[in-house]
Structure 1
Amino acid sequence: MSQVDNHANAGPPREAGPVGQLVATLEPSPPVVVDELHTATLLERRGITDQEARDKYGCEDVFALAGELFRSLPDRSALPQDETSARPPHRFVLLTHGLLYSVPGVVYPAVLVAIGAPALVRGMLLATTLGWVWGMGTSVAAYRLLGQGFPQAAARTWRRLAALGLGMAVADATLLAATGEGGAGLVVFVVLQMSFQLTSGILVFYRMEWRLAVIVVPAFTAGAAHLAHGYDAEHATPVLITAIGCCALAMGMAWWATVPTRQPRDRAPQAPVQAAMFSVVPCIAYAVLSALFLLYNTVPFVTAPLDLALAMAPLVLGMGTVEWRTHRFNVQSVALVHRVHATAEFHRRVWRLLLRELAMCVMVLAVLGALLLTALSVAGLLTPRGVLLVGAYLVLGGAYFLGFITVNHGHFREILAITAVVLVLNVAATMTLSPFFEPYGEVPIFLAGCVALLALLLLALRLNLGDVHHYR
């Protein structure tokens, strides 16, 4: 909390009694609070509960105590607006993220022709995991620096960590190629996949999604044409050349976007870069666990029959919707906490809001899944396992929505424990039980794991969703 000067206006005379004593504990440097909600946040962080507000301070709940305390504090000056805070992203922009995420998948058939299935699977596993983890850690660190008023430091962080990440990708891919199939083609694939993930993260960070969309249109068109021609080897080379060119353009655009002199000046010469990097460790741990869970259950289906290989498409295309509904929940929950005056009422209404946004996420993913299943059925390619796998990814999309909310609230201990337990049980069940469901016995086990992840995250949020300090 920011502090005001000790010689600020004295405000109303200090009251006697429990509330006056509580005010005294905040002096001689009382925190800057701008409204009663901010005061309620302060009380919750001090561990004051509704029961304590009733028993010790004679108020109905923490909200009522916050009102009493707010009127007893000295004069408050408004908190300065952060000049570096970005406007909230437009709904349409968030929805297009799913389409951008799907572009590499359209090029994979050409890569399959070029380097073979075993190399594609190994390279995708390495590049996706490394890109997911490295990209999440870098973006969280950059967002923290930007939010603290250090836009130039955020840009330098993007540049340095992206370059370091690509260097790691080259080294890891070279080692991978030396121990199996793929050769130089595997190295190029891993580096390009990693570069696309990092550069797309940079351009999304700087709200340049439309430029990224324009850049990847040629690769998407070439990949779609290759799919239409039935994966033939003759059309693979033009697709790969186009994809390499698009990746190079995207990298150039990202490098230009992160020029430090293009950003507003930092508010201080020394940026807390080390502190920002240290603070992302829980986010990286969650990214590792999430990537392992997804890839462990996805890689076996890359070269499976078409209904299994395409089952993840609705989730990829719908991730923009998941981001959008997360953003809507964040905005509406903050508005809700200003409209209610009792803790119990807020608990009920914010829980209903969460369930509504979760239902909307799953519904949109279900519509996309139904379209895919219909197309596969018309083509005579649909199997019961394909239906189950699509259902598993729909449930996983709902779990991702809940995971975003949990991470935004800072409950890393809960989400790390839940994801780790589900991952371990999923691996153990797949190794011991999948032979009983052959072929592709992993499908029902994956579905059970996604349901467990969703249920446990709902339970964790049910216990702390109503804490007011999450919505400041």
Structure 2
Amino acid sequence: MSGSLWLKPGAARDALPTVPRRRATAPDPAGPPPAPDPMEELADRLDALAAAAVHPDEIAAILESDGMTDSHIRLTYGRADSFALAEDLYARTERRHAAPEPPRTAPWHTGLAGCLLRGVVFALPGLAYVLGAPLLAGGPGRYGLPPGTVPLFAGAVTGWVWNQVLSHRAYTWLGLGDRRAATRALRVGAPAGALVGAAVAVATAGPGEHPSALFGAGQAVYLGAATVLLVLGRERALLGALLPLAGAVPAFRHDLPGPLRTALLLGSLAATAVCAARALRPAPDEPPARARGRGGPPLAASVPYGLFGLGSGLLVLYAGADAVIALTLSMGPAEWLLHRFRGASLTRLSLLTTAYEFRRAVTGMLARCLGAYLGVLAALTLTAAALWPGAAALGPGRIGSLLLVGAVLWLGLLLQAFGGVSSAAAVCLLAAGAQTLVPAAGPVAAGAAAAALSVLTCVLLARPTTHRF
């Protein structure tokens, strides 16, 4: 009996009772519509963005910014992750761009005149050193430097670091549309930075360097006030406050009385401080600081900007007095070229349809803008060397070294503008540290830093997502 349970293959199927088959019928028009395809819905929703993308990574960035996790993508769309889903959307969407937008005026389409004005404003304070040189310490210098150099350098570097951090925090508030919060940050940070810079200058002064310490304290006050005016867009007011320093022009060839030198220095410093104080006056309807209702940008996000200021500032100081004038004057054209590069990259992003074309266009723009800046810097260097009293002789080696420092500064500023400030700060600090330990290695350190920043810039800026997001 038990053997009857063993059936030949297919016998079990044959032994089952037959069930009549139901003929397939067309869906009832009155019934519920078929469920929509989620992939089609997503493609329709992202059609314009996907059509303008030049690489699937741009679409992946959009998906991730929408909060789509890999588990959600696998469950809803049947793709492994955001990159696989982005590649599918990129493949099924035809490349096209929207109609060209009208020319924009801000923030990446600034005028050349405004940038040149800022370059002059950056360079005019250098005349203060011409006026103050006979008033500073006349004793022996330390560490092989001229007399009074240590407190001046210490106070200047402290001010650069502090005010770079302060500027980033204030600009972040301005980017958020909160000018009152930016003003409040400057109202607290600028006086504090002036006190810290002055304290460092006084603390590092040696015997016989008290005049340099006083000059360094005034320098700290100026740096804080100038930061306020530049961040709030008061370049013209700062230019007017610096005009008394033009009295240093005769000092290039003739000796000026000590009281006149002091009066010109104090007059310019007082005018700058007054202009900054007026710019920071609270508006009649400004709420108190405790009424902001939200915290400011995190301090950790601003620290790399201060470190970049430290590294780049040391490299500039090591370049020499005439080189400092040329580099500071060149910051105006440098800023304009940064704006030009940013605007041109956005234009190419809206016109080109492949990642290869975009990389090629960005690399070419980068080379042209850097070459233009170095050409301007070379011309300014020759002019400054001809006018600056006691300037060192310019040979091909020194000009080449200065151009390498200029390349480091411009590429570092470009990386900073695109969110790569940490990399720029690390490279500049390493180069400045190497030159501090081995002064003769300055050109080698600057060349290595310029090469490293060139590679980092090309890698970062060749990605379309860097420019779009």
TM over 0.5: yes
Q: Which residue of 2 aligns with 1:109?
A: 130
1:189 aligns with 2:198: no
- CA separation of 1:69/1:161 partners in 2, compared to 1, >3 Å: closer, same or farther? farther
> Residue 163 of structure 1 corresponds to which residue in structure 2?
191
Distance of 1:264 and 1:246 partners within structure 2: 30
Q: Does 1:335 align with 2:356?
A: no
Output the amino acid matched with 1:319: M
- For residues 149 and 34 of structure 1, what CA distance do their matches in structure 2 show? 29
Q: Which has the higher helix share?
A: 1
C-alpha distance in 1 between matches for 2:173 and 2:92: 31
TM-score normalised per structure 2: 0.74
The within-5 A match list for 1:81-160 is 89-116=110-137, 118=141, 119-160=147-188
Q: C-alpha offsets along residues 294-353 of structure 1, whole Å, 9 cap, x if unaligned?
A: 33x24xx5xxxxxxx423332222111111111111111112111111112111111111
Note if 1:383 corresponds to 2:390: no
Task: Decide whether aligned partners of structure 1 residues 41 and 124 sit closer, same or farther in structure 2, where only a CA change above 3 A counts.
Answer: farther
Quick one: structure 1 residues 265 and 451, their matched pair in 2 at CA, closer, same or farther if it must change by over 3 Å?
farther
How big is the shift at 1:241?
1.4
**Counterpart amino acid of 1:383?**
A
Alpha-carbon distance between aligned partners in 2 of 1:173 and 1:205, rounded to the nearest angstrom: 25
Q: Distance in 1 between matches of 2:179 and 2:250?
A: 41
Q: Distance in 1 between matches of 2:347 and 2:292?
A: 35
- Please say if residues 215 and 249 of structure 1, whose CA atoms lie closer than 8 Å, have aligned partners that are also in contact: yes
Is residue 180 of structure 1 aligned with residue 207 of structure 2? yes
SS in 1 for 2:353: coil
Give, in angstroms, the shift of residue 364 of structure 1.
Answer: 0.9
Partners of 1:120 and 1:109 lie apart in 2 by: 14
Could you say which residue in structure 2 is the equivalent of 1:423? 432
Give the match for residue 321 of structure 1.
333
Paired residues of 1:312 and 1:393 also in contact (CA < 8 A): no
Question: Mean alpha-carbon deviation: is it higher for 203-212 or for 309-318?
Answer: 309-318
Aligned partners of 1:58 and 1:255: how far apart in 2? Answer: 52
Deviations 1:94-121 (A, max 9, x none): 1122222222222213322112254531
1:459 and 1:194, CA in 2 relative to 1: closer, same or farther beyond 3 A? same
* 1:44-443 correspondence to structure 2 within 5 Å: 44=61, 46=64, 56=84, 59=87, 64=90, 89-116=110-137, 118=141, 119-177=147-205, 179-183=206-210, 185-220=211-246, 222-229=247-254, 232=255, 234-261=256-283, 269-270=291-292, 272-295=294-317, 297-298=318-319, 301=320, 309-372=321-384, 383=393, 387-430=396-439, 442=440
| Cα distance change, pair 380–142 in 1 and its aligned pair in 2 (3 A) | closer
Aligned mates of 1:33, 1:270 — CA distance in 2: 36
Matched residues, number: 402
Amino acid corresponding to residue 196 of structure 2 in structure 1: M
1:447–1:320 CA distance, 2 compared to 1 (3 A)? same
The 8 Å contact of residues 110 and 239 in structure 1, kept in 2 or not, is answered as yes
- Give the unaligned 5+ runs of structure 1: 1-12, 72-84, 302-308, 431-441
Matched residues in 1 for 2:408 and 2:421: separation?
15
Percentage identity across aligned positions? 20
Give CA-to-partner distance per residue, 1:135-158, whole Å, 9 cap, x none.
Answer: 111111001011112110100101
The match for 1:459 among 448, 455, 465 is 455
Q: Deviations over 1:40-76 (max 9, x none)?
A: 646237499xxx999945959x8x36957999xxxxx
CA distance in 2, matches of 1:218, 1:346: 49
Q: How far 1:206 moved relative to its partner?
A: 2.2
Paired with 2:94 and 2:371, the residues of 1 have a C-alpha distance of 38
Unaligned regions of 5+ residues in structure 2, if any? 1-34, 69-79, 98-105, 142-146
Measure how far apart 1:238 and its partner are: 0.8
Q: How many angstroms does 1:133 deviate by?
A: 0.9
**Aligned-residue offset at 1:291:** 2.3
Structure showing greater radius of gyration is 2
Greater shift, 150-159 or 364-373, is seen at 364-373
- SS where residue 406 of structure 1 aligns? helix
Contact 1:406 1:461 in 2 (8 A): yes
Counterpart-to-counterpart distance in 2, 1:271 and 1:35: 40
CA–CA separation in structure 2 for the residues paired with 1:132 and 1:35: 45
C-alpha distance in 2 between matches for 1:16 and 1:140: 43
Q: Note the aligned Cα RMSD (angstroms).
A: 3.9
Give 1:405 deviation, angstroms. 1.3
Question: CA 1:382–1:140 in structure 2 vs 1: closer, same or farther (change >3 Å)?
Answer: closer
Structure 1 counterpart of 2:229, which letter? L
Shift of 1:237: 2.7
- The separation in 1 between residues aligned to 2:406 and 2:215, in whole angstroms, is 27
Moved more, 153-162 or 460-469: 460-469
Cα 1:271–1:121 shift into 2, 3 Å: farther
Aligned partners of 1:98 and 1:317 also within 8 Å: yes
Residues 369/69 of structure 1: CA separation in 2 closer, same or farther (3 Å cut): closer
1:153-206: CA deviations, max 9, x gaps?
1001011000111121232233233x43322x3333112212222222222222
CA deviation map 1:381-439 (0-9, x unaligned) = 8636x553333222212221111111122124432332233233333433xxxxxxxxx
Partners of 1:40 and 1:66 within 8 A in 2? no
CA 1:69/1:170 → structure 2, altered by over 3 Å: closer, same or farther?
A: same
Alpha-carbon separation, structure 1, partners of 2:204 and 2:117:
34
